[in-house]
Chains A and B, each alone.
Chain A
Amino acid sequence: ELKVEQNPLFLSMQEEKNYTIYCNYSTTSDRLYWYRQDPGKSLESLFVLLSNGAVKQEGRLMASLDTKARLSTLHITAAVHDLSATYFCAVLYLRNAGNMLTFGGGTRLMVKP
């Protein structure tokens, strides 16, 4: 069974602090994604990680992928209130029968002034 686990599930941070969200998955994957979801909104794509060692950065967010450890991290640097949202990782498995995208449970991030 494909499993994608995120931790923590809830994170309350102060502004200007750093923190990391972890995403573990159970089976060798072909692609890994990070999405952001604001309350009442749909999912916004943040990062697409295609290979082992991939690192992507956008503003205060940086995502990395270690396929050997089956681990991806989303690092937040000097958090600001605008980053408050729920973050999901998702793992893509390419199969002959079709692709399967499995999501982690999400990490709800609250950045307090």
Chain B
Amino acid sequence: EDQVTQSPEALRLQEGESSSLNCSYTVSGLRGLFWYRQDPGKGPEFLFTLYSAGEEKEKERLKATLTKKESFLHITAPKPEDSATYLCAVQASGGYNKLIFGAGTRLAVHP
């Protein structure tokens, strides 16, 4: 069964304290791995799409990497406005486009 597990469930950082979020997945053929950011009561905001092991993408203070079993979202020198829930999702082969989401990591960055 296709599955996504995110860790930690919650993370508290001081402003400027870099860290990484983990997304482990088991899927029958990976078509894509996606990272989203979600603020309370709002829809997920797209961050990155990764397709194959070894791929990396960057955007401002965020960098996403992908291996054959997991993905990391690295946050460098975070600011309070980076506080949100970060969601990881995978799309499996088989012709269906549904996303399988992890439970998310709640990030709180304090000044």
A pairs with B = no
Interface of B toward A, CB cutoff 8 Å: none
